[in-house]
Structure 1
């Protein structure tokens, strides 16, 4: 995990939310793909995000299923 505490940009969203840690990251060659993936992940449930953070990728299949029996 990488900690980001430098606070170089006062106008940055995370400036006043320090310290924080990166617990997952991906590298992209296309900024558009990176933005699309970030938006997708932000819509995920907390449980699904925690599965990715913990490296439990096999659980993602079941966590992606919706419960329609309400």
Structure 2
């Protein structure tokens, strides 16, 4: 176990991840490396933020600033 992963996880989380690593047949360090790699890939694949249309108040203010 690395010192950095121990500090990031609570005792319960650490025990849970160790159990998952054991069931997967991997060492804890290998399990955490794979997990962080998978999380990084998932973050890259996340959908881009969709631009929202301006709300009612924004549209009214924009109209108020336009000349007649």
Higher Cα radius of gyration: 2
Q: When the two structures are superposed, what TM-score results if normalisation uses the length of structure 1?
A: 0.28
Structure number with the higher strand fraction is 1
Q: When the two structures are superposed, what TM-score results if normalisation uses the length of structure 2?
A: 0.28
